[in-house]
């Protein structure tokens, strides 16, 4: 299965994402802020990163931009999962390199579908 990093400063949000993905057998990694996420991305090389936008230290937009502009990391799939539901936020999230932009609360099937689509690309 996939190695997935979940970067969200909300423990409740991280637990909700874990409850959806853990039963599928994925290796899940947690990060509480953007700096921690960046360190773990560089050391653990996840297949997919699930990002909140509003996080301490480094926000999700900046993290997505860093990922897509860093050689050796640009192939990592990015799902932005945030409470920011305005079209302008979705536009910027996708512009920064996110493959999918989901808003909280998202239906578990929608998250699983996005993960599955990203995994199809790395097989």
pLDDT of 80 over the 90 cut:
yes
Identify the DSSP state of 86: -
Of the CA atoms within 13 Å of residue 94, those in its CB half-sphere come to 8
- What's the pTM value of the predicted model, to 2 decimals? 0.95
Domain definitions of the chain by residue range:
3-117
In DSSP notation, 93-112 reads HHHTT-SEEEESS--HHHHH
- What distance in Å separates the CA atoms of residue 63 and residue 2, rounded to the nearest whole number? 20
**Mean pLDDT (the chain, rounded):** 94
Fold annotation for 3-117? Rossmann fold (3.40.50)
pLDDT band at 1 (very low <50, low <70, confident <90, very high): confident
30 HSE (CA, 13 A, CB side)? 13
In the predicted structure, residue 123 carries a pLDDT above the cut 70: no
């Amino acid at each position: 299965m996939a190695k997935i990093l979940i970067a969200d400063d909300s423990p409740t949000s991280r637990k909700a994402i874990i409850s959806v993905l853990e039963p599928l057998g994925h290796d899940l990694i947690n990060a509480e802020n953007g700096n921690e996420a960046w360190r773990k991305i560089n050391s653990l090389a996840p297949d997919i990163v699930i990002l909140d936008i509003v996080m301490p230290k480094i926000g999700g937009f900046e993290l997505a931009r860093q990922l897509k502009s860093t050689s050796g990391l640009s192939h990592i799939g990015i799902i932005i999962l945030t409470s920011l539901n305005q079209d302008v936020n979705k536009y910027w999230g996708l512009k920064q390199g996110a493959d999918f932009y989901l808003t909280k609360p998202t239906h578990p099937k929608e998250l699983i579908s996005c993960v599955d689509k990203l995994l199809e690309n790395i097989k």
